[in-house]
Structure 1
Amino acid sequence: MLSRRGVVALAASALLLGSCSTSGDGEGAQAGASTGSEKVTFEFWNLATADPLKTFWANTIKEYQAAHPNVTIKNISIENDSYKPKLATLTQSGKAPDLYSTWGGGVLKQHIEAGLVKDLSADAADTIGGITPAALAAYQFDGKTYGLPTDIGMVGFWYNKALFKKAGITTPPATWTEYLEAVKKLKASGTTPIALAGKAKWPGHYYWAYLAMRVAGLDALKQAGTTNDFTGPDFVTAGQKLKELVDLQPFQKGFLGADYSTPDGQAANVSNGKAAMELMGQWAPSVQKDSGKGLGDDLGFFPFPAVEGGKGAAGDAFGGGGGLAVSVNAPPAALDFLKFALKPENHSKAVKAGGVLPVLKQGEEDAVTDPHIKTVSETLAAASGFQLYLDQEYPPAVGQEVNDVVAELIGGTKTPEEVVQAITETAKSESE
């Protein structure tokens, strides 16, 4: 999801109807991007609706425009759950924003196949060479780079230490059995164990994906994505494990209608002490603070537990980061701005503010000052394997099916067997 932050109003729907590249036409416009002689305007679609990234991008745009007075950047910040359908609607019409947020994977690949995004391999070679391979992986296909990462991270449990202590939980659970026991203790103490944005759906798929990784193993999950067959018994078991959790009724009241970053949503429930934990990415602390009171020193983090008897490694991580892609029709200034933002002296400001994790090979190590971001960074650095979000790894229709059917499993209207069958049918249909 990134990244998957935000709580501001939607950009005007009219943006979807017109061309996203508003620069001058022809060679004069392209020359203007470098010489400053021709006025250039481009749109920047992003997810930075909450601080610290909201301020970071506003300042970066201001600095770039001060150095390039001929360039105007339209900063269009859109909340995550609205961003995805808006972007899908636009790309389906054969257009893409000049510069826009992407998580890479199958969704970006679809944009590439549609001829909507620019191959950055040559024009951004110097910048690409300074980025860590792990951060770049989701944006590279067939030896070419079609996006540049601005963040990398992983999903894990963010929890309220005070509520855990109240429930008599002295250490975070390391196994699935211990996790279920912790949920029971939290309920017994009068605390809602887990906050979940059931309406948003994508937060729910994190549980099934991690359980599939722990039970079947990372290689089996990757193979299923290639063969388009998720009907194996281990994937059914992953759903059964999730049902064990669901049967404990661990989520907040009304979770099926809850969004992620709204004042009464998932992040706010944790931030305001109404729920003990959430399974979320590295952006969780900033969204919690933006949508609620914030937990301060009571906020902690622990990785997804191991599953006893599972074939997957307990150290394998699930997640991803945010990146930016450039439309084939964008003026050169759009890529120039992206490279500017990724200069060590600039990107390290976002790292230092606690908004993102380092993606550069050098120049950002000392910028990680936020203790929560540092914890995630260290955990990710020690990971034995990595899996991108399934709703981004797979083609859009397959990723959406994963989100939908896992939501139905959590809602009690689909069985674990029906979940894997539905994903398999959609995957095979998309591959035909």
Structure 2
Amino acid sequence: MKLIRKATGLALAASVVLSGYAMAETVTMLHEENKPEQQALWDTFAEEFESMNPGITIEQQYMENEQFKAKLPTLLQSDSRPNIFYSWGGGNFAARAENGLLDDVTAKSAELKDILSAGGLSAFSHDGKIYGVPYTLAQVGFWYNKALFEQAGVSGDDIQTWDDFLVAVKKLKTAGITPITLGAADKWPVHFYWTYLAMRTGGMETFNAARAGDVSWDNPDYVRAGELFAELVELDPFQPGYAAATYGDASGRFGDQVAAMHLMGDWEMTVQKDNAADKVGVPLDQLGFFSFPSVEGGKGKGSDTLGGVNGFAFAKDGGTDAAVKWMTYFLDAPQQERLAEAGVIIPVAKGAESAVKDSFRKAIAANIAAAEWHQVFWDQALGSDVGGTINDFSALLATGDATPKEAVEMLQEAWDFR
């Protein structure tokens, strides 16, 4: 009997030790950016979480954007992959899920579903399974310089349709002002024009039908999108050397106040200052924003938005209980509200949107909330091969080196051979 009791006692002690060891876990989280004000809040969240969850350590790692993109594919297939990594929604995310590089956390997602919008979570789901979580939203639209607009007799509030937009471009040129700055060398900034026009001409129905294979990408609506873009290009609206300019060059030119408009995401509000020669850029009181114009006779709605749903994905075997618990805390409304109040993000947590203080982000949050269709950037949504083709032909359209018909033929061919 004593032997049995002794053995039982040893077993219980071993159980306690093993249980304690199992609770001791380091959750690694790989970020794609490292803005000081954002990192400070992330570090605070980690410290708060660790104090409430003894035994769990949060290790946050950072990589510069291009380095992140280059190293991530190899990293995800190595033993040193993180639990959680920064991710865009879209084709690459879906491909990673299909190839077994992500962890299905659907069974552990009850609390995540309670705090996050269904639309946001859907961007990080595939075939009905949840592999990641949204973090912030973004909208692309036209940033403009109010002083330059005033010089040309243009009002941003009056630009509602594509025809209105072309009239504004002509007025700016007449006033001797460069209407638009463009970084065509990077290609992706140009794809905002063609894809937005395709959204306006074809609408969500055509886009979804093309993805499903029910209609060709080589269709009249998308040919018309290229024709409308060609109308703009014919006005010579961009700065000299735009074909060789990078995004940073174009952003700096806008910040230097030598071009009136820049079609870019909401991040441009701060990035244009960083890229300006004086590091001041366009003062906030002289900065304006309007959504991409509607197209008369188009199937799409002027309220439909193009942008990002950026977030984090769980790497293979990385969606542990501790990792999911951390992300639930990280994304809960109190944390997202603090980030929103600091002007860092447009939040995705339910109820956190009220914490957005900046007038521009508040307006953009309202735009996205009102949109029936918020489409992730096409060069991400359709995968790298098809997305790369869209970027390629968009740049060719911007320089007049491809026709609208040739552009959609390139798109259909890329889709067929993806």
Verify same fold: TM over 0.5. Answer: yes
Partner of residue 152, structure 2: 167
Distance 1:369 1:400, change over 3 A: same
The RMSD of aligned alpha carbons is 2.7
Partner of residue 344, structure 1: 333
What's the secondary structure of 1:109's corresponding residue? helix
Distance 1:257 1:58, change over 3 A: farther
Moved more, 251-260 or 303-312: 251-260
Which structure would you say has the larger Rg?
2
Question: What do residues 98-125 of structure 1 show as CA deviations (whole Å, max 9, x unaligned)?
Answer: 3212121211110001101111222232
Q: 1: CA distance between counterparts of 2:27 and 2:389?
A: 37
Q: 1: CA distance between counterparts of 2:59 and 2:360?
A: 32
- Does the Cα contact within 8 Å between 2:145 and 2:261 map onto a contact in 1? yes
What's the secondary structure of 1:102's corresponding residue? strand
Partner of residue 360, structure 2: 372
Partner of residue 405, structure 2: 417
Q: 1: CA distance between counterparts of 2:399 and 2:194?
A: 13
- Does the Cα contact within 8 Å between 1:96 and 1:117 map onto a contact in 2? no
Deviation at 1:185, TM superposition (A): 1.6
More helix by share: 2
Q: 2: CA distance between counterparts of 1:92 and 1:274?
A: 46
The 5 A counterparts of 1:86-101 are 86-88=71-73, 90=75, 97-101=82-86
Moved more, 184-193 or 238-247: 184-193
Partner of residue 130, structure 1: 115
What's the secondary structure of 1:338's corresponding residue? helix
Is 2:142 the partner of 1:154?
no
Distance 1:93 1:188, change over 3 A: farther
Distance 1:75 1:274, change over 3 A: farther
Please tell me the residue identity of whatever aligns with 2:253: N
Partner of residue 190, structure 1: 176
Q: 2: CA distance between counterparts of 1:230 and 1:158?
A: 30
Q: 1: CA distance between counterparts of 2:391 and 2:253?
A: 22
Question: What do residues 350-409 of structure 1 show as CA deviations (whole Å, max 9, x unaligned)?
Answer: 1111221121123x1431101110010112222232222111211221111111221122
Moved more, 325-334 or 203-212: 325-334
- Does the Cα contact within 8 Å between 1:94 and 1:114 map onto a contact in 2? no
Normalising by structure 1, what TM-score?
0.83
What's the secondary structure of 1:278's corresponding residue? strand
Deviation at 1:230, TM superposition (A): 1.0
What's the secondary structure of 2:138's corresponding residue? coil
Partner of residue 6, structure 2: none
What's the secondary structure of 2:166's corresponding residue? helix
Deviation at 1:93, TM superposition (A): 7.8
Partner of residue 4, structure 1: none
- Does the Cα contact within 8 Å between 1:195 and 1:278 map onto a contact in 2? yes
Aligned length: 395
Q: 2: CA distance between counterparts of 1:69 and 1:191?
A: 61
Partner of residue 236, structure 1: 223
Q: 1: CA distance between counterparts of 2:245 and 2:31?
A: 23
Distance 1:249 1:97, change over 3 A: farther
Q: 2: CA distance between counterparts of 1:414 and 1:307?
A: 22
- Does the Cα contact within 8 Å between 1:212 and 1:238 map onto a contact in 2? yes
Partner of residue 7, structure 2: none
Distance 1:397 1:90, change over 3 A: farther
Q: 1: CA distance between counterparts of 2:166 and 2:19?
A: 61
Partner of residue 126, structure 2: 141
Partner of residue 4, structure 2: none
Deviation at 1:140, TM superposition (A): 1.7
Partner of residue 12, structure 2: none
Distance 1:66 1:56, change over 3 A: same
Instruction: Pick the aligned partner of 2:349 from 360, 372, 377.
Output: 360
Structure 2 residue runs of 5 or longer lacking an equivalent are 1-15
- Does the Cα contact within 8 Å between 2:148 and 2:177 map onto a contact in 1? yes
Partner of residue 278, structure 1: 262
Distance 1:284 1:353, change over 3 A: same
Deviation at 1:82, TM superposition (A): 4.9
The 5 A counterparts of 1:18-417 are 35-36=23-24, 40=26, 42=28, 44-50=29-35, 52-64=37-49, 71=57, 73-79=59-65, 81-88=66-73, 90=75, 97-172=82-157, 173-227=159-213, 229-260=216-247, 262=248, 265-292=249-276, 293-294=280-281, 295-330=283-318, 332=320, 333-362=322-351, 364-417=352-405
Please tell me the residue identity of whatever aligns with 2:332: K
Sequence identity (%): 37
Deviation at 1:58, TM superposition (A): 4.3
Deviation at 1:132, TM superposition (A): 1.1
- Does the Cα contact within 8 Å between 2:289 and 2:360 map onto a contact in 1? yes
Structure 1 residue runs of 5 or longer lacking an equivalent are 1-27
Moved more, 153-162 or 48-57: 48-57
What's the secondary structure of 2:104's corresponding residue? coil
Q: 2: CA distance between counterparts of 1:277 and 1:70?
A: 48
What's the secondary structure of 1:122's corresponding residue? helix
Partner of residue 8, structure 1: none
Distance 1:95 1:429, change over 3 A: farther
Please tell me the residue identity of whatever aligns with 2:163: T
Deviation at 1:300, TM superposition (A): 1.3
Q: 2: CA distance between counterparts of 1:404 and 1:195?
A: 19
- Does the Cα contact within 8 Å between 1:156 and 1:281 map onto a contact in 2? yes
What's the secondary structure of 2:185's corresponding residue? coil
Deviation at 1:57, TM superposition (A): 3.1
- Does the Cα contact within 8 Å between 1:231 and 1:421 map onto a contact in 2? yes
- Does the Cα contact within 8 Å between 1:157 and 1:302 map onto a contact in 2? yes
Distance 1:84 1:259, change over 3 A: farther
